[in-house]
Amino acid sequence: MQTVGMLPTCLLFLPEYEEIRPMGRPVTLFTGQWGDLELEELCKKAKDWGYDGLELACWGKVPHFDVQRALSEPDYCMKIHALLGRYGLKVFAISAHLVGQATLDHIDARHKEILPDHVWGNGDPAGVNERACQEMKDTARAAQKLGVKVVNGFTGSSIWHMVYDFPPTPKSMYDAGFELLAERWNPILDVFQRCGVKFALEVHPTEIAFDIYTAERALAALNDREEFGFNFDPSHLIHQGIDPAEFIRYFPNRIYHVHMKDAKVTLNGRSGILASHLSFGDPRRGWDFRSMGRGGVNFEEIIRALNAAKYSGPLSVEWEDSGMDREHGARESCKVVKELDFPSSDRAFDAAFAE
């Protein structure tokens, strides 16, 4: 009989598999790539695919979680829970990546396409930054009303364009970028603190923290306040040459949420990790996202590192494989993640010899 890991392949496709699988971390689907679907339609699909819940994106053609409606409509959050509950799903986190991006970025025409109208306004850059910061405060309040403890997202960066250090960059210019993080995000995090909600930055190129050392510096700029941690996503680290599991080991107490997403480095002597201004999905790129288990990420080590860090939160599939049908990928990814996850041991393998 063919096996996947230690489980017979046939068990992965039995309806009872969820019952015989040892209880693990909840496996959720991030809805950011499904913003063209109404939430109920996505709930039906996610239930059929085997997910335990959804990570609701605060954007899309029809936002799956609307921050302003959550604050203005007394029964909005109750209706969200009721809808998910009809399909046996839960929500553990919401995500505000796109608005968060505009808090620190130098605003240009690209941001108009990703921001809600009330944040974009007239497009004046300073006004967009200010309104984005206010929206992030409102997002903390909305998360509190929904009853979730984590908001995932981006911060953007005022210094990302200096990443190559040419023309030569005075240290003071980098310092100013982290000072701006503290200036704009401490007031946001004050609201998160009052609401009992944590912000989980997805460490990612174009953010103020994009690797281990910039993440460390971002924490220091914010005086290591507990409201600020990380949404761990290995796909953004592997193509930079960073061991994703090492990130967890470096920040074991700051992993507030986990994205399960794979990526593949495909350097062939002509391509590079800067991607050559080629769109995702272009085979000439030096790296690209892949569906779970079909890239180069060592998820075995990630699960072991998460166990060592005592992370018990969701494993949220963020599906972004341009070369695969998304429904096939979402269904397959759920099975892959559930098979990959395993609990840590409560005893050493040789403990019996001492008994």
The secondary structure of the chain, three-state, reads CCEECCEEHHHHCCCCHHHHCCCCCCEEEEHHHHCCCCHHHHHHHHHHHCCCEEEEECCCCCCCCCHHHHHHCCCHHHHHHHHHHHCCCEEEEEECHHHHHCCCCCCCHHHHCCCCHHHHCCCCHHHHHHHHHHHHHHHHHHHHHHCCCEEEECCCCCCHHHCCCCCCCCHHHHHHHHHHHHHHHHHHHHHHHHHCCEEEEECCCCCCCCCHHHHHHHHHHCCCCCCEEEEECCHHHHCCCCCHHHHHHHCCCCEEEEEECEEEECCCCCCCCCHHHCCCCCCCCCEEEECCCCCCCCHHHHHHHHHHCCCCCCEEECCCCCCCCHHHHHHHHHHHHHHHCCCCCCCCCCHHHHC
pLDDT digits (tens, 9 = 90+) for 145-190: 999 999 999 999 999 999 999 999 999 999 999 999 999 999 999 9
pLDDT digits (tens, 9 = 90+) for 62-73: 899 999 999 999
Specify the fold of 3-12+25-343. TIM Barrel (3.20.20)
Instruction: Please give the share of the chain, as a percent, with pLDDT higher than 90.
Output: 89
Kindly report the average pLDDT of the chain as a whole number.
93
Q: Predicted confidence band at 350 (pLDDT cuts at 50, 70, 90)?
A: low
Q: Where are the domains of the chain?
A: 3-12+25-343
Average pLDDT over residues 284-290: 97
